[in-house]
Amino acid sequence: MIPALTNGLLPPGRHPATMAEIEEIFVSAAPHAKHRKRIFRAFELYADMLGDILPRGTFWVNGGFCTYKQDPPHDIDLAVLIDPTLPLTDEDYEQLVPLLTLTQVQAHSPALWANRMQPMGGLVDSFLLVAGVIEQEEYWDATWSAVKGPDGELIPGAIKGYLEVSW
């Protein structure tokens, strides 16, 4: 069960959730529900596509989507924890790449340059980590727990929670 928000934020910690709970709290009952519905639909499709490659895994779900703020969220932020015991092939990894947020992308022409590319038309911001690698988990836990102010700057000492969905 997703805990109640305080001042628009989840209480500190990682909170287990289901997709149905996320939809109820952060779409149906949230401000900007119509806008959030599009982001959530992208998340559902993204999860289906990832599930075609990974038979099991975990999402750490975060970002403005998991808050109630005055402005609508731009996207949903995900850390995708991959089970290191999965027998993934080179083809599996090749299918994963377009599902991840990429930075400093250049196509075959210098005119085709992007500082950042996000899957699902920019509605999902997704990063890959290996479950059980403590340094990676600690980094993303700290990143997902940080609180940004309206100006996008980190608020020193402020922490919030985020969600965990496993399949």
Q: With pLDDT > 70 as the criterion, what percentage of the chain qualifies?
A: 93
Confidence of residue 113 (pLDDT cuts 50, 70, 90): low
Burial of 47 (0-12, 13-18, 19+ CB in 10 A): middle
**The pLDDT of residue 119:** 87
pTM over 0.85: yes
Can you list the domains of the chain with their CATH numbers? 13-166 (3.30.460)
pLDDT at 165: 98
Q: Which residue has the higher pLDDT, 111 or 48?
A: 48
Give the per-residue pLDDT at 150: 83
pLDDT at residue 38, as a whole number = 98
Backbone angles phi, psi at 142, to 5 degrees: -65, -40
Q: Determine the pLDDT at residue 117.
A: 79
